[in-house]
Amino acid sequence: MMIGDFCALYIPLGEFFTFLFVLPIAARALSQDDRPLGSSIVGGARFAGAIAMGYTLAYSLLEAGRTP
């Protein structure tokens, strides 16, 4: 449960980890200009995965080993 001392740090840390992945994803999506629609869809799916990974990593780091 995200109720505790680290709750206020969860979103900024999750955003930080998310945007670490944004530049490589955007660079790859913008470099594939031969198929713009497919590149946009794949880039959006990768960005959604980056959001999930960023928040999962932040949650894991903040909540790992914590006892309720």
Question: Residue 68 — very low, low, confident or very high, per pLDDT cuts 50/70/90?
Answer: low
pTM of the shown model = 0.77
CA dihedral 25, 29, 32, 34 (to 10 degrees): 160
State the pLDDT at residue 63. 80
The whole-number pLDDT of residue 37 equals 87
Residue scoring higher pLDDT (35 or 6)? 35
pLDDT of residue 66: 67
Question: Per-residue confidence at 9, pLDDT binned at 50, 70, 90?
Answer: confident
HSE at residue 22, side-chain half, CA atoms within 13 A, is 9
Specify the pLDDT at position 3. 56
